[in-house]
Structure 1
């Protein structure tokens, strides 16, 4: 008999496994929290710091920076969808085997693209140049061109109303291969370095492990949802799920009338086995591109009604910080920092109860604690656009 899972049950389990129903205790390493999220989006580092901090009791941005720059249990590099993420250093053998296994085409014109052979030369040059040092992008560019040839430095890659050198189109692939990660900023300039050397897992094993991890954190899931999360071709994702189903690694469930999948044996949801079905209740504040808002599906249930229009940008999640109320998006918010103070403006999309208002005040204070600032709550319209 097919197990039937409701949205409320799935949400409660996802929030619990994401440390959003119950925060991780201070003794839980920051890197372990990031591992449960399957990476913290870090294009804007303060957003990643908030993603980790709101999940971890007592953690602040200093704890995240210590893990990143001092004990090196975290690494800032290119993760899912080619975007910058914080990933556990210990999990690089997994990520740097699974991510390159995803088929990808080029978005660049034929006269801009590099061949696979050239891409390999660039990645090798980047790894050699960054071994044991931190370089700015201009310094790295000089080293790559010196190791490969003038063709790598041709200014042909359109980017931000200018042209970048040809080699930069495979920058994310260098991150995926373990040849590159971010180093500490040098003043206002970004630097790159090389993470510790490691041996990647076999690619097929890594992909199957990542599917199981995804389903544990965000399941039930479908091949299409996994493909969207990874920016992978749908046909490739379906084939992976098919092979795993045949091998008995995943099993099918009915999720709100949709055929979906969970890891084999992982069918206990709230309402079963003593799990708390009420774990979905309450108020949470999630920052830009938080892992939960990106990965939890289906979008029309997470972003019901007016939230789908207000909190998404053309259907894309992550461009607005999210107010969650009882497990669904019920508003957007924005924080503006001035020195040691930050003003958090929250725009609810539905009427809040007195309990929700109290919780909102507590969540805003927690945002301030994570950012090591004194937070002030303003309830009103958020006037800035997406990703402001």
Structure 2
């Protein structure tokens, strides 16, 4: 890693300006596709798919949730699968071979299940093979996949030992997220209210994981472009990887990375990526569930991203966030009713006239993306956040 004698020095304000620009929040792009947004963000957190649709739409001028759905279920340029940290993400389909190879190379976390619940390495591989075979030709619900895996792997895979919401799940289900990270499973379109799964090779003929070292380099650089400047430790947190392993990985990319300083602390960017765009004012944005969560997990400590009251009011409640100049300055809630969406925004800082006008523009944009007529109320959000 390049460690210049006099490294570039950046303020947190600079970092916010970079983040807003690179994420398409400063100026929504007129020419980007949903897959381009997912690439720029190093994956879009999609635990709440409506939030992912809104997050992508906010970054593309004139886009709506229909455009995101078309990318997922029409041309399949986006794929919904298990990505960083084993959590649900939207990733560019063209980059999936790189992501799968990189995620497969991350040392597994410490086993969290009791010994009587776990699978042996051999059993895990047998389940992954069974999932891959079962999903080759179609889309299956979890119950249909359950039957197929037990049939192929053996009755032990169906032992009801995994703690679930109101009962027990079959043993094999602890490998579902791993199957996504290994590239043998992704999400299919919902069948009514039921989630389905399929094999990514159905939509990307010839799909194969890439070579490991180029894939790891791709993920590091994607992360740093989206969330840098950052440290190996923050990268490890974002990827749910061991800190020592991440430090060794950064060191192996000597010459590709550059050291900078952020508020006096050493961090890294992709070599040459030190530009700071001019801030856009007024900068007021309404980000959906998990959008600012990705900001925090990706890089900055909560104290910088969630200053003052925002730490207790927004961070701990996992609300949708009002962003002013790149930091969390409030929360908001939406309630859909037919063709209308009611937006309640609770600022935690005083908004000037220009910022309030921009908030109105953003509310209209949210309505456009959700394909509903918005009604904005500035007041207290009385409902709880997302679990």
Q: Given the two structures, how large is their TM-score scaled by the length of structure 1? A: 0.94
Describe the SS at the equivalent of 1:48: helix
Aligned partner of residue 9 in structure 1, secondary structure: helix
Partner of 1:45: 49
Question: CA–CA distance in 1 between the matches of 2:260 and 2:222?
Answer: 17
Structure 1 position 366, deviation (Å): 0.6
Name which of 140, 149, 156 aligns with 1:144. Answer: 149
5+ long unaligned stretches in structure 2: 1-5
CA distance in 1, matches of 2:143, 2:165: 16
Asked whether the 8 Å contact 1:280–1:327 carries over to 2, the reply is: no
Q: Distance in 1 between matches of 2:381 and 2:298?
A: 24
1:332-343 equivalence runs, <5 A: 332-343=331-342
**Residue from 142, 159, 182 that aligns with 1:154:** 159
Contact 1:249–1:264 under 8 Å retained in 2: yes
Task: Tell me by how many angstroms 1:70 deviates.
Answer: 0.9
**Is it true that 1:242 corresponds to 2:251 in the alignment?**
yes
Note the alpha carbon deviations across 1:22-55, whole angstroms, 9 max, x for none: 1011x32211111111111111110000010111
Match of 1:132 in 2: 137
Whole-angstrom CA distance in 1 between matches of 2:11 and 2:311: 20
Deviations along 1:66-99, whole A, 9 cap, x unmatched? 1101111111111111111111111110110111
Matches within 5 A, 1:216-227: 216-227=225-236
Secondary structure at 1:386 match in 2: coil
Name the residue aligned to 1:58. 62
- d(CA) in 2 for partners of 1:110 and 1:385? 36
d(CA) in 2 for partners of 1:280, 1:161: 49
State how far apart, in whole Å, the 1-side matches of 2:7 and 2:103 are. 32
Q: What SS does the aligned partner of 2:376 have?
A: strand
Conservation of the 8 A alpha-carbon contact between 2:19 and 2:326: no
Q: Quote the RMSD (CA, aligned, Å).
A: 1.4
Corresponding residue of 2:283? 282
User: Counterparts of 1:209 and 1:46 in 2: how far apart (Å)?
Assistant: 28
State the shift of 1:294 in Å. 4.2
SS in 2 for 1:113: coil
Instruction: Give the alignment partner of residue 86 of structure 1, picking from 86, 90, 105.
Output: 90
1:371 — aligned with what?
370
Q: Secondary structure at the match of 2:315?
A: coil
In the other structure, the counterpart of 2:3 is none
Give the one of 308, 320, 325 matched to 2:311: 308
**2: distance between equivalents of 1:90 and 1:146?**
33
Contact 1:8–1:280 (8 Å) recurs in 2:
no
Whole-angstrom distance in 1 between the partners of 2:262 and 2:329: 22
- Structure 1 residue runs of 4+, over 4 Å off? none
In 2, distance between residues paired with 1:123 and 1:168?
A: 10
Q: Matches of residues 1-388 of structure 1 in structure 2 within 5 Å?
A: 1-25=6-30, 27-103=31-107, 104-196=109-201, 197-244=206-253, 247-268=254-275, 270=276, 275-276=277-278, 278-279=279-280, 281-290=282-291, 291-313=294-316, 319-387=318-386
Q: Secondary structure at the match of 1:206?
A: helix
Calculate the TM-score normalised by the size of structure 2: 0.94
Shift of 1:166: 0.4
State whether residues 12 and 280 of structure 1, in contact with CA within 8 Å, keep that contact through their aligned partners in structure 2: no
The answer to whether the 8 A contact 1:23-1:56 is kept is yes
